[in-house]
A and B are shown apart, each in its own frame.
Chain A
């Protein structure tokens, strides 16, 4: 139970990093609130695992400090930091029984045996392996192993934080849902700080109060799911969050007017764009209206995904996705209009707000 501060953390795996590109973590400066539930989202290789390992102390950052409740723990061992971590690839001690696997972190810390028993049984129940307690962990299936791995992270209830690195990848959807709600319950009950890495955006968006999006060794945006959806700070967040992702179109900005595909729109503000920057307009498929008015598009494909239809079209030579309600009609000479409030302007991939 701690507030975790990452103070200008940088990390390079190589000995002597020369250029920015040698850093797997470019610069992370962020505070995880005590008791917060965070989802960490990002593409493969963006540094999620690296960041978790730095928090738990398995890895020493090349630069920067880590503070728990304001106390510098940068040079403290994993054990001293008292953090639980569940790894991306399940680790089980396969000569031990399932029970002993779960008891291991407690026994190592000298917890009294009755308490160990109580905790382990609780976790066994939760991960639905109560009948397997006496079995050796060796012959278990991949999802059982992952559950044990998860269980070992949850069995200690006095930890400062629990870090989950995609803990549910091979668990079947129903069990995933059950475990996720169990996790939420535990979180509410014990109030540990929780960081949860996932590739799955629905998981991230339903589970966490704050979603942290990483890209190329950096945190590009931290926000509530709604913020990420409505105001992506970086075009990457726009692409990555939402399905289909945000449409990003090259645009010329002049004062408050935006020219995209030969059409000029007028914004009610003047984006602060410096000269020479690559400027783009971002609009989510949900905020494009398809009708007889507006800018012409040519439709290439319509995907029916149940309650909605995704229209794939070409607009000014660029592919564009449009979400249409199930009963929405698709005109013969389709034209589109953008919801002005949903337009985001990007300069060199970063969102620019209102000037002044």
Chain B
């Protein structure tokens, strides 16, 4: 191939670079700034080295929040990815069912996060919520306000309801791109339903699944609004994920230094994990 090099092309990217600088790099740098300094008010700052970082990393509070967040993401991924694939496999491929299913699937994705939280907060309430009342009437004790298990269940079910569609839509896009000839060949070759999934559908969905996995991981790892609205991090600290803890620290206690340090650690963890997932998943792609 013949590539033409033209350095003027860099000017084309300049606007984007500026935009990214203002929207991401500069705010990030202020956070970095806070994380290495201390202040006693009056806008006076002192160099503080990495002590905020070591404080954060040495606190139980941080590790517990991190553990809860990882557990939440883990559960979410184990449910949403297989469930999403399963639904996508069973969606119609032609006819009137296609637009109907697609719209139904897209609906939860269109609802703003805090509204989703509010919906489930009300839905699950024992005094007036449909879910809460129904479970109560069935004799199942359920109360997300003071029962840890119920609080987690509510958040998980809510997230599954809200986000499985994303996985479904991505997988569906992968599935409809498979030419009919593959299914025909599989029939001639006497392939079982499982073999068709394993050797035709899964390989074709691999790329979109990688995207779905990363998006769902990052999103669930950073979840804030919904648990904030539904449980507020409780009961106790049982649903205080990293994001909620961070806000508590920064806004609630106004510990800007440690909060900034924690932000950076949080950011690095997401970056690192996403990179690891990406590398692992694409390298298995190459071997296969």
Closest to A100 in B: B199
Interface residue B47 (Cβ < 8 Å from any Cβ of A): no
Closest to B179 in A: A89
Interface residue A144 (Cβ < 8 Å from any Cβ of B): no
Number of contacting residues on B, CB 8 A? 16
Interface residue A53 (Cβ < 8 Å from any Cβ of B): yes
B114 → A minimal CB distance (Å): 43
From B71-79, B146-154, B184-192, B265-273, give the one contacting chain A. B184-192
How far, in angstroms, from A206 to B189 measured CA to CA in the complex? 29
How far, in angstroms, from A26 to B282 measured CA to CA in the complex? 50
B-chain residues with CB within 8 Å of residue A91 when the two chains form the complex = 181-182, 184-185
How far, in angstroms, from A149 to B186 measured CA to CA in the complex? 12
In the complex, how many residue pairs between chain A and chain B have their CB atoms under 8 Å apart? 50
Are the CB atoms of A136 and B288 closer together than 8 Å?
yes
Are the CB atoms of A95 and B192 closer together than 8 Å?
no
Interface residue B99 (Cβ < 8 Å from any Cβ of A): no
Closest to B187 in A: A78
A58 and B190 contact, Cβ closer than 8 Å, known pairs A87-B181, A91-B182? no
B-chain residues with CB within 8 Å of residue A83 when the two chains form the complex = 188
Q: Categorize the interface residue count of chain A.
A: 20 to 34
Q: Using a CB-CB cutoff of 8 Å, which residues 143-191 of chain B contact chain A?
A: 179, 181-182, 184-185, 187-191
A108 and B188 contact, Cβ closer than 8 Å, known pairs A91-B181, A91-B182? no
Interface residue A334 (Cβ < 8 Å from any Cβ of B): no
Contact code string A250-271 (vs B, CB < 8 Å = 1, else 0): 0000000000000000000000
How far, in angstroms, from A9 to B199 measured CA to CA in the complex? 34
Are the CB atoms of A95 and B189 closer together than 8 Å?
no
Closest to B200 in A: A93
Closest to A88 in B: B181
How far, in angstroms, from A58 to B189 measured CA to CA in the complex? 12
How far, in angstroms, from A84 to B189 measured CA to CA in the complex? 8
Closest to B191 in A: A108
A53 and B184 contact, Cβ closer than 8 Å, known pairs A95-B288, A108-B195? yes
A-chain residues with CB within 8 Å of residue B188 when the two chains form the complex = 56, 58, 78, 83-85, 105, 153
Interface residue B27 (Cβ < 8 Å from any Cβ of A): no
How far, in angstroms, from A53 to B183 measured CA to CA in the complex? 13
A95 → B minimal CB distance (Å): 5
Interface residue B203 (Cβ < 8 Å from any Cβ of A): yes
Contact code string A90-110 (vs B, CB < 8 Å = 1, else 0): 010111100000001100110
Q: Using a CB-CB cutoff of 8 Å, which residues 298-329 of chain A contact chain B?
A: none
How far, in angstroms, from A78 to B196 measured CA to CA in the complex? 15
Closest to B189 in A: A105
Contact with A87, one of B185, B191, B195, B199 (Cβ below 8 angstroms): B185
Q: Which of B182, B184, B188 has the most CB of A within 10 A?
A: B188
Interface residue A79 (Cβ < 8 Å from any Cβ of B): yes
A-chain residues with CB within 8 Å of residue B182 when the two chains form the complex = 91
Contact code string B242-285 (vs A, CB < 8 Å = 1, else 0): 00000000000000000000000000000000000000000000
Beyond known contacts A93-B200, A108-B191: 7 more, CB 8 A cutoff? A58-B187, A77-B187, A85-B184, A89-B179, A95-B199, A104-B189, A153-B188
User: Can you list 13 residue pairs at the A/B interface with Cβ under 8 Å?
Assistant: A78-B187, A78-B188, A84-B188, A85-B184, A89-B181, A91-B184, A95-B199, A95-B203, A104-B189, A105-B188, A108-B189, A108-B190, A149-B185
B residues contacting A by CB (< 8 A) are 179, 181-182, 184-185, 187-192, 195, 199-200, 203, 288
